[in-house]
Amino acid sequence: MTIFIFLGSLLGAMALGIPIAFSLLLSGVALMWHLDLFDAQILAQNVINGADSFPLLAVPFFMLAGEIMNVGGLSKRIVNLALTLVGHVRGGLGFVAILAACLLAALSGSAVADTAALAALLLPMMVKAGHDKARSGGLIAAAGIIAPIIPPSIGFVIFGVAANVSISKLFMAGIVPGLMMGAAIAIAWYFVAKRENVTPPKKASTAEKLAALRSSLWALFLPVIVLVGLKFGVFTPTEAAVVAAVYALFVATVVYREMRLSQLYEVFVSAAKTTAVIMFLVAAAMVSAWLITVAQIPAQMIALLEPFMDNQTLLLIAIMLLVIAVGTAMDMTPTILIMTPVLMPVVKAAGIDPVYFGVLFIMNNAIGLITPPVGTVLNVVAGVGRMKMDQVTRGVLPFMFAQFAVMFLLVLFPSLVLVPMRWFIG
């Protein structure tokens, strides 16, 4: 009955068109009434405590870094570097999108920001070269969702806070799975591009490659600084976000000089608006998380999943299928915030490594960004490319299936995540 009231009130509020953050608050109030615990002071206190978290300070600074990179020319130089390296091979512009997405993922950690930049820069080039527009848009969408997996990742920050798991370990554990996602869609694109009769761009000369590399060096140093600093304990993930934002601002204004000081206000406002949405979601979700614990919903979930508890692989497959279903109807951040307090006790009871589960969970949620009907990243590509949603959905299918295949491969072989993570952590 408790689970029914929570889910019924949440889904009912969302069906009425109420924003997800307010729907979370309403579901929390409904649970409080059911448990005879309603107290406005407790409600307000949990909302405030939900946003009062030092690790969550990483979110606004990573968002700011992403905005600065797009306006200040860092993203453009990364795309140009990828173009000179692999643009000349068959289907080269598609491989450019994948390589650029992996590089941009190591800079911002935001799927929406990276996808918008890639779609604006590469989609017109791919269409002009003769590639199918829907397929090109689908590839860019699938490449864009690598951002929440390769560090620094905003999704890992939110999950780490909600699940009380080391964010630094999550960052290190996400490197190899993120690259595997990129490799999977590269293989899928190879077979798709073989069916298209497209003349690739002229091969760049060694001098052009070196020039592109020199131009992008300042941008490429950013992920190196962040990862090396985290590995050797120079700074925390939150401090790494500050370093990323300050470094991006320095490069954009002093080195590349593509961002004027007069643009700072607009960049700050844009980052602040996105951060406000995320932080309000986090604050509202913490009310539900507290009530989920009080109502002993995790214990009820453990009882429901009892048949799978002795087999970690079957349990993970069941959880991943559940998250896939939820991801078709809900965006990444609310899914993380709603499901984490419910699933983590189940995961711990089954003896599954929380960091390993976190990588699979965030990967699943990232793929949810390209699963219809919600598909936030699909909407971004459709908007930037001026396409219908069903066109982009048709184009993304082969790449989405390739990424699901990688996710279930990691479910079957946990060492693909755990062994590289231990090596990176040292």
How do residues 397-411 score in pLDDT, each as one tens digit? 999 999 999 999 999
Asked, as a colleague might, if the bond just before 354 is cis with ω within 30 of 0, I would say no
How far the first Cα of the chain sits from its last, in Å, is: 47
Residue with tokens 């993203």, as numbered in its chain: 75
Is there a contact between 165 and 354 (Cβ–Cβ < 8 Å)? yes
Tokens (6 digits) for 269? 């406002």
How do residues 146-159 score in pLDDT, each as one tens digit? 999 998 888 899 99
Tokens (6 digits) for 314? 């079957």
Q: Give pLDDT, residue 2.
A: 67
- Residue 43 carries which side chain, given as an amino acid letter? L
Average pLDDT over every residue of 98-121:
84
Q: Give pLDDT, residue 202.
A: 78
Closest CA to 137 of 118, 159, 156: 118
Residues with Cβ within 8 Å of residue 248, at least 6 apart in sequence? 64, 65, 68, 69, 72, 74, 107, 222
Question: Does the structure show a pLDDT above 90 at 237?
Answer: no
Cα separation, 289 vs 61, whole angstroms: 25
User: pTM for the full model?
Assistant: 0.84
Q: Which residue has the higher pLDDT, 413 or 279?
A: 413
